[in-house]
Amino acid sequence: MSEILKAGPPSYGHWRAVVQAAALVAGFVAALALTCAAPVSAQTLKLVALGDSLTAGYGLPPGKAFPNQLEAALKARGFDVKVVNAGVSGDTADDGLARYDWAVPPDADALIVELGANDMLRGLEPKQTKKTLATILDRAKTAHLPTLLTGVLAAPNLGAEYDKAFDAIYPALAQQYGAVLYPFFLDGAAGDPKLNQPDGLHPNAAGVAVIVGRILPTVEDLLKRANRS
């Protein structure tokens, strides 16, 4: 003790060094605490698009199919999302149901169901199409998978009675199963030669861009549901 007293009081430089060292230690401890307490960053959302040729991208160049353009548009809006193309050209609703278990993986965060156009083009019984789509929606609901159902409008040459029965499928199912409804998938592109391929049935790349622009706010609502689930 006497030696310490003989040495005199600590210099200003000594105290300054001590204070700086203590501040560095405190800062390190605080940063470590924040790191440990911070929530793990959200993983990329997986959005599966289960559909037919309109989803698959029939006749389109690589990267221009609906899932590709939708993913790009969502990312531009700030969503961390991967849109999986589970479309198969020519699929009816029954075909989509038959491959549901492997096309929609357990780690999917949200689902778009784009099916029924081929049922309509083949003049299949609306009751059967509705029953099949109901089974798909029921599986998604059981899995607590937020789902967007995109509608199909029947061609006028099939007759008023068929049109009425078929067009009613999608609003009824969306209400029954609590799915998000987009009334007409081809909205904005149907019937416009500039936005369709020569067959008049499938949109070209520009047509898909129009479809994506129209449906984008609805898909954003779907992904917000996925984030809350």
Give catalytic residue positions. 53, 199, 202
What are 170-195's pLDDT values in tens digits? 999 999 999 999 999 999 999 999 99
Which DSSP category does 138 fall into?
H
The structural domains of the chain, with segments of one domain joined by +, span 2-37, 45-228
**What residues have CB less than 8 Å from 91, skipping those under 6 apart?**
51, 52, 53, 115, 118
Is the Cβ–Cβ distance between 212 and 76 less than 8 Å? Answer: no
Tens place of pLDDT per residue across the chain (229 aa): 444 344 444 444 443 444 344 444 344 334 434 333 333 335 899 999 999 999 999 999 999 999 999 999 999 999 999 999 999 999 999 999 999 999 999 999 999 999 999 999 999 999 999 999 999 999 999 999 999 999 999 999 999 999 999 999 999 999 999 999 999 999 999 999 999 999 999 999 999 999 999 999 999 999 999 987 6
* Topology of the domain comprising 45-228: Rossmann fold (3.40.50)
pTM: 0.82
